Structure 1
Amino acid sequence: MATKNEKKMTKSYFDVLGICCTSEVPLIENILNSLDGVKEYSVIVPTRTVIVVHDSLIISQFNIVKALNQARLEANVRVTGETNFKNKWPSPFAVVSGVLLLLSFFKYVYSPFRWLAVAAVVAGIYPILAKSVASIARARIDINILVVITVGATLGMRDYTEAAAVVFLFTIAEWLQSRASYKASAVMQSLMSLAPQKAVIAETGEEVEVDELKINTVIAVKAGETISIDGVVVDGNCEVDEKTLTGEAFPVPKLRDSTVWAGTINLNGYITVKTTALAEDCVVAKMAKLVEEAQNSKTETQRFIDECSKYYTPAIILISLCFVVIPFALKVHNMKHWLHLALVVLVSACPCGLILSTPVATFCALTKAATSGLLIKGADYLETLAKIKTVAFDKTGTITRGEFIVMDFKSLSRDISLHSLLYWVSSVESKSSHPMAAALVDYAKSISVEPKPEAVEDYQNFPGEGIHGKIDGKEVYIGNKRIASRAGCSSVPDIDVDTKGGKTVGYVYLGETLAGVFNLSDACRSGVAQAMKELKSMGIKTAMLTGDNQASAMHAQEQLGNVMDVVHAELLPEGKSQIIKEFKREGPTAMVGDGLNDAPALATADIGISMGVSGSALATETGHIILMSNDIRRIPQAIRLARRGKRKVVENVVLSITMKGAILALAFAGHPLIWAAVLADVGTCLLVILNSMLLLRDVHVPGGKCHRAEKGACDVVGDMEAGLLPKHCKSGCCGKKNQQEVMKLDKTSEGHGHSGCCDKKREDKVMIVRKRCESRCCGDKIQQRDQDEVKQSCHNKAGDTEEIRLDISVKGCCSRPVADPVVASDGHRESSCCESSRKGNNEEACCEVETNESNCSSREKHHSHCHSHHHE
């Protein structure tokens, strides 16, 4: 038996088909506020969904449905949050009404058939009449009341056929609107129901509810199954499809100790996963909550339209009454014409199409963003994103990968061994989550130094400077130049440190003494240069804000092809915020970051974009938009989507006003068609939904039929790996029926790659060459399939005689679909596609670059030798 204070909170989803527009929201709020046991609720108009958090021991789902249906809202329970659209066919009332209306047209053959139009009204009016009674009982004027008045007046004027047409068109259009709303919401509902409700315990094989799983429980996931909860792989390996969560186009390999998320799919292999979160704390659960909150928010435009609609309906009703009262008082002869005109105006009093114009477009844009790996926390942020003029980026972990490698570590004191210094440094760094800390700890372990974080006392973090900890009686300070003041030094001694290649320099102080110095190297993410160029083509200013040294910042800028408009280095978190404030004077500004140091700048910006899955918890909480993957190319995609959403809102508003205006103009011109007014009202709602749904479609990247994206040195992996080869680019150039994955080497830019699309619509000579991957080239991967290699000639200018041919390993022995050639010291081109497990005399070429000049007597051929890369 439940005790008095016992509670069982449940989140229930209800499909409420009676929601037409936001005018029903106050009614639903009043109903739910009157029910005991309801803690919170939200009404999502575009999907006709009501979400209620309630105490199931006090009030059940059945009682909530009963309360809503007393107001004729046509509510029903949605099972486990999934879409359960029941009205696949029009209601029997609409079908019977339509059949009788059709038969009534035989009145021209046999006059008694005209009475079938009256029967059509009687057959179809019941649902409309029932809703009207419910609205009158709650002192609300809605479209149902207006339609009942219109039908009654039309019958009074003996226009039976027109009255029947009004009833049939209204009921059938509402059904079509429900179908369109269902289509629009289906994608979002599938996103919010990603994770399965059950999991299998690895040890016993028992199937349990996901809500019952505790942290550190080990579950089993077979090939083809959806992972039910966040965790870490403890045994086995597989590939996981993370597209629904992060937007990642290619399967992600998972090995032991890899992190997996609920809602992603195990494509192959058997793994056991140790849970790291409860069901309600999983990434997908948090994502669903953010999506729900975003759906329930309003833009400034929507709030303005809702406010105007409060005065629109009473004003139109008053005008309609004037068209009846004034002609009657003046005793005009053609009173029937004025009554028709008044009824047309009366039907036009419902502003549903106008009210829906903004929320439906916003909902579809938010849905498209979420399915693309972008979580936008509110409709206001989407509206602001469309106006962005400047985008600022943090460097470490955002522009660069944040995967540091220690290139050099020196002890500057003869009294302190390198082993001892590394022990103290790695022990203190073990308490930090910064990417540099992980690199230092890994470096220490690589030379057999085992850190002991439990021995560290008085640990402190100084954002933008470094960290401090006390171990073995030593006060250890680790960080950049600014950490010197924390250690008690006024300045950093002048020491010869290698900063070539953009290396990040760090310092180690023991008390006030500089005891060590180290440098680390980091690489840019693929696609960053392309993203910057896209932003620039959209008229958006780009900036790099980093706390790293000037040399490191400028090296990243050079890797990106000097595409950034502004570069600021050696900034504290407060300095980043100050620069963001300066940018905001020029227009709306966005900040992109993933770490603790970025939180103040993210909060200061008009739009803060944080790296969700990989970013720190604080950055994710601060950001207004969460980038679920590390692909920076999602940012111009998000801005482009926001701009499309803004255009759709304008189109919907213009469409709604134009339809209403056209019907009224037709009426004033002497053709007051009541059935056309009804069709225009509900038809506008339908058109608004269908127009907004175009946002859910994929669109091609601007730039003509054949898009060409140049890549800088940071773009180590080509478009094939990123899955961003434009679908309209066929076989490298244009006009081919079969799409091929190709890349071309541009000799003018030192190994920089290009996508396979040519500037001009000229047919390329593309040849697919089958080569068997030899076992000695592939290391242990003897079982790999034949690899496809593509040879392409891409003529950019008429009359070019030079032909560049590049062999590209698409699948097979290479670890990546495309490997960029590397220029060795002897001038030969080498490729990094082969695995590092080859030994001995295995110098057979697995990747080959040929340069053919048709007018030259000589032919130069470079072979790439199998070799392994090692981070120096």
Structure 2
Amino acid sequence: MTEELKKSYFEVLGLCCASEVALVERILKQLNGIQEISVILPTKTVVVHHTHVISDVTIVEALNKVRLEATVRPQEQSNFQNKWPAPSTMFSGLLLALSFLKYIYHPLEWLALGAVIVGLPTLILRSIASIRNLTLNINILVLMAVIGTLALQDYWEAGTVVFLFSIAQWLETRASYKAMATMSSLTSMAPQKAIIAETGEHVDVNAVEMNTVLAVKAGDVIPVDGIVVEGKCEVDEKMLTGESFPVTKELDSTVWAGTINLNGYISVKITALAKDSFVSRMAKLVEESHNKKSRAQRFIDNCAKYYIPVVMLIAVAFAAIPAALRLPNEEYWFHLAIVVLVSTCPCALILSTPVVNFCALSKAATTGLLVKGGDYLEILAKVKIVAFDKTGTITRGEFAVTNFQVISDDVSLNALLYWVSSIESKSSHPMAAALVEYGRLHSIEPKPENVEDFQNFPGEGVFGKIDGKDIYIGNRRIRLRAGCAAEFQNMEGKTNGYIYCGVTLVGTFSLSDTCRSGAMEAVEEIKSLGIKCVMLTGDNHAAAMLAQDQLGHALDVVHAELLPEEKARIIEEYKKEGLTVMIGDGINDAPALAAADIGISMGISGSALAMETGHVILMSNNIQKIPLAIKLARRTLRKLIENVILSITTKGAILALAFAGYPLIWASVLTDVGTCLVVIFNSMLLLQETPKLQGGHSRSRYGTFSMPSLYGKGKSINPVDGQGGYNGDYGDYEAIKCNDGCCEKLIHEVESPSGKGCSNCTEASCKDKNFANIAQSSSSSSVCCLQKCEAQSQSKKCGTTQAATINNACGCSTVGLLESVVNNASKISGNRERRGCCKQFAEQCCGLGP
């Protein structure tokens, strides 16, 4: 049995640059029981996976033998403890300040020497430890500068160097803690305690076993992944997905550890242990991504190995050669050598890449994007082609069966539904869920236990034996598996499926799907960045072109009826044109995700294989995050270039000043440490910036509304001009603010299968004339939305010609478009595709839709 590993976190304040990283790894690898080491330089954090053979104290002692100032840090701790510099630093600064009084009383100049004596021991001990471990770093360079300055009897400059270096180390640590706070919020989302529903007992979350039912009260953080078995509530998933709006959870809904129950009481049955929860896996990915060096960082680190020895040789040459040649003004050359030694220290240059990558990766994670390393950010910034899967990526993946036919006299409808639903219940494909649900609507319960030899054929369909029959279910390619040569015509715009019993076709079905909200805006935004957008789908050509129509023909190229390996082949072809991104969510997409320069997988909604294969994980279904990710990557690249240029130019300026006859050692130290701080704070700007979609602030397809009361009191707005309201990362909310506040609902609920958007509105409670028509139509959520759309944009209705064209295309009435959908919604309710078409084009006429 494999021994369970312990994960320990350590603060290592002595971490400065790549040389210390190598030192930490070399020391810890010598210890028995250490399995894995992760060093996160920007936050001065070391994460160690080890057995219980070795204790945290032993690890700390090993690190402190080389003066790395290590301490144990609880995982959840993120507050900076040392609000003030060390006493020795403050005392050194005080003595240095008093030494300025030498102009009044000359003997006080010796206080500068006292400043050196007070502040130097720490620097000496660190330097000795570095030399003992054959490591050259900034401590040795500064110590040499101080010794050289003392040799010239310039005590004030020596004291200034010691004090500035000490205070800079403290400031750098403070900056690191600010950056670390972001990561800590990600890695400590889930609580450590849980409540057993049956007994009310509070237990450690790591001790909870599978299938245990836990109680989660209003305001509590959900401790584990599970499904709701009792109750109903709204959950804030912002920390996990980056989405601002709450999500309704009811019976059989999936909930995730680390999300917050905003209201209501639920009982949750555990589906994953705490260590295997989605948030735990996410935290591990975040840590791993910070530990992966980008190509730029690896290049700079490799150069630094040779850079410091070369600089030391140059400095020695500046001091020794003029002395050997008996050149005049030896003191000037000695000063110049020390300035070269200090000012060319590469700390700022070495920090320029890891700090900016750390901040970018942390920012991405807090907005619902997990990037598995800095390398992928660099590639994403230069991408030329983005390829989308269709089902579950561009479209919702929420299929509805629009047609189900038995075409064999030997099989009854109930028998066929029983076979299909039982076999499909063993599949995780979105189409399978639709077929199972369709069977239940006809009172047919699936029995997966009766299915034998179940097989999944990616890009084709599934197979299973039931009641002694060999049943094949899938697209038109499945006929070859079944041994049937006949071909059948696709229904226009539908996803069509075929059912074979042996070699005999016994049934057909059709499913419909619609594009995700914001899909058109996402594609158009990506194209505005100069990137080519294409679709790769295994669905038939008609269904692919319907999606293209719904996107307003925004895609440059559409490829349909592709097998998984064909998707991968096309990606390889596109890679010849430039860096290529593939976005997908299913098993069928895994080969293409792996083949692409960057694979972006849909995390929570996607398959485990797609999540494992993807280089970037989208934590929600909002594909508008993709252009934001590209913009973040480009801003990251700009910050990296800024940091490198800043690091080089400041060094160059000090050297130029020195060669011009002003070799100021204290200015060299100040410039070096100051540049480090500027690099850190410049990178941290990424944590503050909020990228926006083109055209200003983000906007929902229904306009801008007010914040609902579950986050505080809602703000009334004018429903015609859309003034006011809350703008989140993705959520412009609607609170239908009636006089008594009883109609507050999120507009996004209308798009959910439950369709509850306006269910609580009544004419009596919505006395405001702008909402009266909504109240009257509360029985139909689609009508409710469209009338809201009409109220929001009285001046943007379609013209007569445009309305007639769209009405004809959708099969709506020939009167004004919005009125058409409202008046005929009940008549066309049986045809979901037709109603969706009317709704989509109505929103376009309002000027608020995609």
TM-score bin (small chain): 0.7 to 0.9
Matched, 1:43 2:39: yes
Shift of 1:866: 11
1:67 is aligned to 2:62: yes
Residue 363 of structure 1: how far off its partner (Å):
0.7
Measured against aligned partners, the alpha-carbon deviations of 1:766-817 in whole angstroms (never above 9, x if no partner) come to: x999698799x998737999669897xxxxxxxxxxxxxx99979x979989
Change (3 A) 1:180 1:414: same
| 2:201 is aligned with 1:210 | no
Q: Does 1:254 align with 2:249?
A: yes
Match of 1:567, SS? strand
Give the root-mean-square deviation of aligned CA atoms.
3.3
| 303, 311, 314: which one aligns with 1:319 | 314
- Cα pair distance change 1:477/1:91, threshold 3 Å: same
**8 Å CA contact 1:291, 1:375 repeated in 2:** yes
- Label 1:43 to 1:778 Cα distance change in 2 as closer, same or farther (>3 A): closer
Measured in 1, the distance between the counterparts of 2:503 and 2:407 equals 13
**How far apart in 2 are the matches of 1:774 and 1:539?**
43
**Does the aligned pair in 2 maintain the 1:608–1:624 contact within 8 Å?**
yes
Indicate the structure with greater strand content: 1
**2:315 touches 2:341 (CA, 8 Å); kept in 1?**
yes
The correspondence for 1:781, drawn from 760, 763, 767, is: 760
Cα 1:6–1:286 shift into 2, 3 Å: closer
Q: Is the 8 A contact 1:778 1:814 kept in 2?
A: no
463, 470, 475: which one aligns with 1:475: 470
Secondary structure, aligned partner of 2:194: strand
SS at match of 1:665: helix
Asked whether 1:506 is paired with 2:492, we answer no
Matched, 1:664 2:655: yes
- Given that 1:787 and 1:813 are in contact with CA atoms closer than 8 Å, whether structure 2 keeps it comes out as no
Identify if the C-alpha distance between structure 1 residues 20 and 578 changes in structure 2 by more than 3 Å, giving closer, same or farther.
Answer: same
Shift, 1:333, TM fit: 2.8
Counterparts of residues 701-720 of structure 1 (less than 5 Å): 701=692, 703=694, 706=696
Q: Structure 1 residue 525: deviation in Å?
A: 0.5
**Aligned partners of 2:742 and 2:760 also within 8 Å:** no
Aligned partner letter, 1:107: K
Distance change (3 Å), C-alpha of 1:226 and 1:136: same
Instruction: Work out whether 1:555 is the aligned partner of 2:555.
Output: no
1:529 aligns with 2:520: yes
Q: Give the aligned partner of residue 222 of structure 1.
A: 217
Change (3 A) 1:305 1:820: same
CA contact (8 A) 1:219 1:275 kept: yes
More helix by share: 2
Matched residue type, 2:44: R
TM-score norm. by structure 2 comes to 0.87
After TM superposition, list the pairs within 5 Å mapping 1:670-709 onto structure 2: 670-701=661-692, 703=694, 706=696
Counterpart contact for 2:717–2:723, Cα < 8 Å:
no
CA–CA distance in structure 2, aligned partners of residues 816 and 688 of structure 1:
52
What is the identity, as a one-letter code, of the residue corresponding to 1:103? Answer: L
Aligned residue type for 1:254: K
Mapping of residues 608-647 of structure 1, within 5 Å: 608-647=599-638
Residues 334 and 244 from structure 1, CA distance in 2 versus in 1: closer, same or farther, beyond 3 angstroms?
same
The structure-2 alpha-carbon separation of the partners of 1:784 and 1:281, relative to structure 1 and needing over 3 Å to count, comes to farther
Residue of structure 1 in register with 2:455 after alignment = 460
1:331 is aligned, of 326, 330, 347, to: 326
1:392 match: 387
Task: Identify if the C-alpha distance between structure 1 residues 483 and 246 changes in structure 2 by more than 3 Å, giving closer, same or farther.
Answer: same
Instruction: Report the CA distance shift for 1:159/1:737 in structure 2 as closer, same or farther (over 3 A).
Output: farther
Unaligned runs of 5+ in 1: 724-729, 743-753, 757-766, 792-805, 822-829, 834-845, 854-858
In 2, are the aligned partners of 1:720 and 1:817 still within 8 Å (CA)? Answer: no
2:356 to 355, 361, 374: 361
Alignment match, 2:12: 16
Structure 1 residues 332-341 or 533-542, which shifts more?
A: 332-341
What SS does structure 2 have at the residue aligned with 1:563? coil
Secondary structure of the residue aligned to 2:327 is coil
Q: Which amino acid aligns with 1:67?
A: A
For residues 767 and 598 of structure 2, the distance between their equivalents in structure 1, rounded to whole angstroms, comes to 44
Are 1:385 and 1:607, in contact at CA under 8 Å, matched by a contact in 2? yes
Residues 154-303 of structure 1: pairs in structure 2 closer than 5 A? 154-303=149-298
What pairs up with 1:427-466 in 2 under 5 angstroms? 427-466=422-461
- Superposed CA deviations along residues 456-508 of structure 1, whole A, max 9, x for unmatched, are 222222111111222222221111111111111113245xx642xx2211111
Cα distance in 2 for partners of 1:668, 1:404 equals: 73
Matched letter for residue 321 of structure 2? I
What displacement does 1:80 show? 3.2
Is the CA contact 1:721–1:818 (under 8 Å) kept in the aligned structure 2?
Answer: no
One-letter amino acid of the structure 2 residue matched with residue 12 of structure 1: S
Alignment of 1:90-129 (within 5 A): 90-129=85-124
- Structure 1 residue aligned with 2:561, among 538, 563, 570? 570
Asked if structure 2 preserves the Cα contact closer than 8 Å seen for 1:250 and 1:721, the reply is no
Give the Å deviation of 1:651. 0.7
One-letter identity of the residue aligned with 1:578: R
- Name the counterpart of 1:31: 27
Conserved? CA contact 1:807–1:849, under 8 Å: no
Tell me how far 1:850 sits from its aligned partner: 4.7
> Relative to 1, partners in 2 of residues 1:97 and 1:595: Cα closer, same or farther, differing over 3 Å?
same
Structure 1 equivalent of residue 724 of structure 2: 739
Q: Are the structure 2 counterparts of residues 850 and 319 from structure 1 closer, same or farther at C-alpha, using a change threshold of 3 Å?
A: closer
Relative to structure 1, the CA distance from residue 491 to residue 100 in structure 2 (aligned partners, 3 Å threshold; closer, same or farther) is same
Give the Cα–Cα distance (whole angstroms) in 2 for the partners of residues 54 and 288 of structure 1: 18
Residue pair 1:82, 1:190 contacting (<8 A) in 2 also: no
Specify which of 71, 92, 96 is matched with residue 76 of structure 1. 71
Residue 699 of structure 1: how far off its partner (Å): 3.0
Q: Does the 8 Å contact 1:324/1:342 carry over to 2?
A: yes
Identity of aligned residues (%): 58
- What letter corresponds to residue 407 of structure 1 in structure 2? T
